[in-house]
């Protein structure tokens, strides 16, 4: 079925799927490592590209292709490359777009390991990286050098909830001949479409909202154009960062309810944010749906909703925050986000522990920052849980 001109909710259910010989309603799991060629000529044609038949699961697999085509349509992109994790989506993009002597400008509060792998590993191959607060695009312009190849942004960023202007970044990227990559994990294509705003590459940790059920780890990259798609697919295949067919099956199943989940996550988050904002124990709160957020207007422009991730500080700093995390009963003290369940964590000692104290401060990750991923439970129960825990902190 051609789903290109249909609505988001229709695409999420049908895009990328194909009819098999038994008329299966669900996408079957093609749990096979290799595929039989009808004859030697067909084998040769698959390898030369004259035929698009399947060869070997690291290179491609029918179950995985459904997910790739589906998310590519949701993001209005050319095609997708599914990966074993969000981090392998990121390293495949780095590997495809950076080389010895090249330079990347990235968001300072980007996902911790996305920064760490550049500073500690790609640096060994003479790749240079600068991390700036990209919510002020002047910082980006000042960081661009003659050898800059990639502008990489995460918006909303993890865990500061800082918003970066994708359209403005696309203009800068065009002017300086850079490839603009956007980590769209926090927003999902339901709330934000970076490729429509001028980005070249969009990527996700599908571990989070796209799968949404805290039962797999995975990633995906979608590009606007064919040439970048081919480069990134090559990097994924040669580094062996492929997704597994069973993993793809679970993500396809989780993805079907993306719009419904994100709507409810967000409806709850707005209520939780309003509750926290006026609570006497809360020192500060950052949620793009509150007028107090520094980029409230920008969020309204480039996103169709403000999502369900909230950062806040408790009066009494780190100690009070620890007390809060130890006192919640309904919210789960765990990293990750974007699932059906409410999760709470402390980035400074957990997800961003590897970032130096100085860089954490520069990136806006204060010691008292608590990150909340609001789930789809009954919102009154989520609020009551936070309320009783705040009383103890
Ligand atoms: C979790 C996350 C990643 C990394 O994804 P994994 O699936 O854990 O490898 C990258 N970016 C963002 C914004 C994330 O939240």
- 91 close to ligand 1 (CB < 6 Angstrom): no
Q: Is residue 1 part of a domain?
A: no
111 flagged as catalytic: yes
Is 208 an active-site residue? yes
pLDDT of residue 382: 98
Mutate to test the pocket of ligand 1, among 153, 157, 185 (most ligand atoms within 8 A of CB): 185
Is the residue at 68 inside a domain? yes
Average confidence (pLDDT) per 10 residues, the chain, 393 residues: 90 95 96 97 94 96 98 98 98 98 96 95 98 97 98 94 97 98 98 98 98 98 98 98 98 98 98 98 97 96 98 92 94 95 91 84 88 98 97 91
Per-residue confidence (pLDDT) for residue 2, from 0 to 100: 86
Q: What span, in angstroms and rounded, lies between the C-alpha atoms of 1 and 93? A: 30
Place of tokens 């942004």: 153
**Within this chain, do residues 195 and 159 fall inside the same structural domain, yes or no?**
yes
Residue 3 maps to a domain: no
Query: Could you tell me if 286 and 380 lie in one domain?
Result: yes
State whether 46 and 111 are in the same domain.
Answer: yes
**Cβ of 207 below 6 Å from ligand 1:** yes
Indicate whether 353 belongs to any domain.
Answer: yes
Q: What is the CATH number of the domain that holds 265?
A: 3.90.1150.10
225 and 264 both lie in a single domain: no
Give the count of alpha carbons within 13 A of 10, CB side only. 7
Domain count, the chain: 2
- Last-in-domain residue among 205, 240, 255: 255
* pLDDT (0 to 100) of residue 360: 86
Q: What is the CATH number of the domain that holds 35?
A: 3.40.640.10
Shared-domain flag, residues 89 and 175: yes
Domain-located, residue 2: no
Query: What is the structure's pLDDT at 59?
Result: 97
Cα 331 to its chain centre, rounded Å, is 22
- Catalytic option among 79, 183, 200, 385: 183
- How is residue 264 written in tokens? 């409810």
**Is the residue at 114 inside a domain?**
yes
CA distance 364 to 108: 8
Q: Pick the closest to residue 295 from 172, 185, 155, 199 (CA basis).
A: 155
Contacts of 369 (CB under 8 A, 6+ apart): 159, 160, 311, 312, 313, 321, 346, 347, 348
Q: Does 83 lie in the same domain as 29? A: yes
Same domain? 167 vs 180: yes
- Note if 145 is an active site residue: no
Is 371 domain-assigned? yes
Same domain, 246 and 118: yes
Final residue before a domain boundary, out of 192, 225, 255 = 255
- Shortest-distance Cα residue to atom 7 of ligand 1: 86
The residue among 227, 255, 283 that closes a domain is: 255
Ligand 1 binding pocket includes 202 (Cβ within 6 Å): no
| Inter-helix orientation angle 86-97/226-239, to 10° | 110
User: Which residues are registered as beta bridge partners of 80?
Assistant: 222
From the CA of 186, give the closest atom in ligand 1.
13
Whether 207 and 74 share a structural domain: yes
Active site annotation includes 183: yes
Please tell me if the CB atom of residue 217 comes closer than 6 angstroms to any atom of ligand 1: yes
CB contact set of 77 (below 8 Å; sequence gap of 6+): 195, 202, 222, 223, 224
| Structural domain boundaries enclosing 27 | 8-255
Q: DSSP for 67-117?
A: HHHHHHHHTT-SEEEEESSHHHHHHHHHHHH--TT-EEEEETTS-HHHHHH
Q: Which helix (H) or strand (E) holds 311?
A: strand 309-314
| Same domain assignment for residues 65 and 207 | yes
pLDDT one-digit tens code per residue, 77-135: 999 999 999 999 999 999 999 999 999 999 999 999 999 999 999 999 999 999 999 99
User: From the centroid of its chain, how far is CA 171?
Assistant: 22
| Domain match, 239 and 267 both | no
pLDDT of res. 318:
87
Q: Are residue 80 and residue 193 in the same domain, yes or no? A: yes
> What are 60's two structure tokens?
């491609």
- Is 100 a domain residue? yes
Supply the pLDDT for residue 129. Answer: 98
Q: Which numbered atom of ligand 1 lies nearest the CA of 114?
A: 10
**Tally of CA atoms within 13 A in the half-sphere of 376 that contains its CB:** 15
Residue 356's pLDDT is 85
């Amino acid at each position: 079925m051609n789903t290109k001109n249909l609505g988001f909710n229709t695409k999420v259910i049908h895009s990328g799927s194909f009819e098999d010989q038994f008329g299966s309603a669900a996408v079957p799991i093609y749990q096979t490592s290799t595929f039989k060629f009808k004859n030697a000529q067909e084998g040769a044609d698959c390898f030369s590209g004259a035929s698009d038949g399947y060869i070997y699961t690291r290179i491609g697999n029918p179950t995985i292709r459904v997910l790739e085509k589906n998310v590519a349509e949701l993001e209005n992109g050319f095609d997708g490359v599914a990966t074993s994790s969000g981090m392998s989506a990121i390293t495949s993009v780095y590997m495809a777009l950076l080389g010895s002597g090249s330079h990347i400008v990235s968001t300072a509060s980007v996902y911790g390991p996305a920064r760490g792998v550049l500073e500690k590993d790609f640096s060994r191959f003479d790749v240079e990286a600068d991390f700036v607060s990209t919510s002020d695009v002047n910082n980006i312009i000042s960081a661009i050098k003659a050898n800059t190849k990639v502008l990489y942004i995460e918006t909303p960023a993890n865990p500061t909830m800082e918003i970066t202007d994708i359209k403005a970044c696309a203009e800068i990227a065009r002017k300086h001949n850079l490839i603009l990559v956007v980590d769209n994990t926090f927003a999902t294509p339901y709330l934000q479409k970076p490729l429509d705003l001028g980005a070249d590459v969009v990527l996700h940790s599908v571990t989070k909202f796209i799968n949404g059920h805290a039962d797999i780890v995975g990633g995906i990259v979608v590009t606007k154009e064919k040439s970048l798609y081919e480069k990134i697919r090559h990097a994924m295949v040669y580094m062996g960062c492929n997704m597994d067919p069973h993993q793809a099956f679970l993500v396809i199943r989780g993805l079907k309810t993306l719009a419904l989940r994100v709507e409810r996550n967000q409806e709850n988050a707005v209520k939780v944010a309003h509750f926290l904002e006026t609570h006497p124990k809360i020192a500060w709160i950052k949620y793009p749906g509150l007028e107090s957020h520094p980029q409230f207007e920008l969020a309204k422009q480039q996103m169709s909703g403000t999502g369900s991730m909230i950062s806040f500080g408790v009066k009494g700093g780190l100690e009070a925050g620890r007390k809060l995390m130890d006192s919640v009963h309904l919210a789960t003290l765990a990293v990750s986000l974007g699932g059906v369940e409410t999760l709470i964590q402390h980035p400074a000692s957990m997800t961003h522990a590897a970032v130096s104290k100085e860089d954490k401060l520069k990136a806006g990750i204060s010691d008292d920052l608590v990150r909340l991923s609001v789930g789809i439970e009954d919102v009154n129960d989520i609020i009551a849980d936070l309320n009783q825990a705040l009383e103890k902190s």
